[in-house]
Homo-oligomer: A and B are copies of this chain.
Amino acid sequence: MATLAEKFAALGAENAPGQELRQQTDHLAALMRGAPIAGVPVDFSHGDVDAFAPTPGAKAAWDAGFERGGAQAYTEYRGDAMIRASLADRLANFTGAPISPEQELIITPGTQGALFLALGALVDQGTKVAVVDPDYFANRKLVVFFGGEVVPIPLRYTADNPGENGPDLDRLQQAFETGTRVLVFSTPNNPTGHVCSEQVIAQIARLAVRYDVAVVVDQLYSRMLYQGESYSHLRAHPEAPANLVTIMGPSKTESLSGFRLGVAFGSAEIIARMEQLQAIVSLRAAGYNQAALETWFQEPEGWLRQRITQHQAIRDDLLVVFRAAGLPCAAPQAGSYLFPQLPALAVSYAQFVQLLRLQAGVTVTPGAEFGTDCSDSIRLNFSQDHAAAVAAAQRIVEMVERYRA
């Protein structure tokens, strides 16, 4: 069993988005090639809520919540009953299957909070958990923190033959056959933007039912679906597993990350455990903030369509920049992450990422955070000012040329 010191060593957060400022970088001066590259600094480690503002009405909804006073400050741990009721309706409508607001939904402090609570409800010392590789970096860390064992399931996500992309279902079945009790995965995938096809979702459902595996599916980015793509909700599948929790939240597409709001919905037993855990973790998502959920899935006519169109235009321009420079990059089907692959460099990839920030004003997240074979990739959240993002991508390419092995 890992000691507490070992557990925390595995939790290293110094490369996590927003934490770069805490790094020691004095040693990099000796490695630097050429002068700084001028340009508007871009922090691709998270979306820019100044470029893409919070959904209209979010602040007014917060104000109204504050005015409601005590009733909004002290909600049930799973969140305000009235907000859950209206939210359950809208989420049922979006995902295509009913949700009991009393028993099957919990409001959490961000989708990070939802992931933490869901895995805390399911993972114990020695629990084997299938984790897609690459996937959101916290998934592996959470499994380790709760004492579980990560069983990696490779994800194919190349730019060629995208129809063949997806998680390795043979490996998944093998994992389920050999004692894996939980599967956690994101679709759209973070960091690649890959969306599981209807066939893959059907297969996951069948395997989970057959082997009685609990599934946590992170659908954070499922609203931002690009032209021509289609999305399958596992929970709406006729053979959806009984122990299933779906996670969403308004932090990304809707730019409400500053409110720290997420929701988890699914199996009443798991949701009940999540609430018990929430009671000792942080009581509830901040009461007044919960009120901002009233704007979610009720945005003005055309708002979502416009936001998708704008992101798709940025995506397409960045793909052109990276592919023209010979950096392989799968086209994200949804969400605002790009995960280009770098060539062999004369510095380590970790050093390159730091140099990129210091020398070119471009912050990205190292691929090594996301999976075992991704250290030569970098993740960009391209929910940024369009022109600044394209210029920053060009600086990345220039930096790659400078540091090419």
Q: Considering the complex, which residues of chain A in the window 134-175 have a beta carbon less than 8 Å from any beta carbon of chain B?
A: 138, 141-142, 145, 147
Does A260 contact B279, Cβ atoms closer than 8 Å? no
In-complex Cβ contact of A282 among B66, B109, B121, B273 (8 A): B109
Query: In the complex, A8 Cα to B76 Cα: how many Å?
Result: 18
Stretch with Cβ within 8 A of B (4 or more), from A9-17, A293-301, A303-311, A339-347: A9-17
Contact of A27 with B by CB under 8 A: no
Contact of A280 with B by CB under 8 A: yes
Given contacts A77-B13, A109-B109, contact A258 B72 (CB under 8 A): yes
Does A116 contact B280, Cβ atoms closer than 8 Å? yes
List chain B residues, Cβ under 8 A from A77: 13, 16, 18-19
List chain B residues, Cβ under 8 A from A259: 286, 288
Does B74 contact A281, Cβ atoms closer than 8 Å? no
List chain B residues, Cβ under 8 A from A116: 280-282
Does B258 contact A73, Cβ atoms closer than 8 Å? yes
> Chain B: which residue is nearest A3 at the CB level?
B124
Q: Considering the complex, which residues of chain A in the window 260-298 have a beta carbon less than 8 Å from any beta carbon of chain B?
A: 260, 273, 275-277, 279-289
Given contacts A59-B66, A66-B258, A125-B1, contact A279 B11 (CB under 8 A): yes
The digit string for A29-69, where 1 denotes a CB below 8 A from any CB of B, is 00000000000000000101110000000010011011001
List chain B residues, Cβ under 8 A from A142: 280
Query: In the complex, A131 Cα to B109 Cα: how many Å?
Result: 28
Does A257 contact B74, Cβ atoms closer than 8 Å? yes
Does A280 contact B74, Cβ atoms closer than 8 Å? no
Query: In the complex, A257 Cα to B13 Cα: how many Å?
Result: 28
Does B273 contact A287, Cβ atoms closer than 8 Å? no
In-complex Cβ contact of A125 among B11, B74, B109, B125 (8 A): B125
Besides the known contacts A18-B74, A112-B280, A113-B282, 7 further A-B residue pairs in the complex with CB atoms under 8 A apart: A7-B124, A21-B81, A22-B76, A48-B70, A110-B282, A125-B147, A258-B288
7 nearest CB pairs, A to B: A73-B258, A260-B286, A109-B282, A258-B287, A13-B279, A11-B276, A113-B282
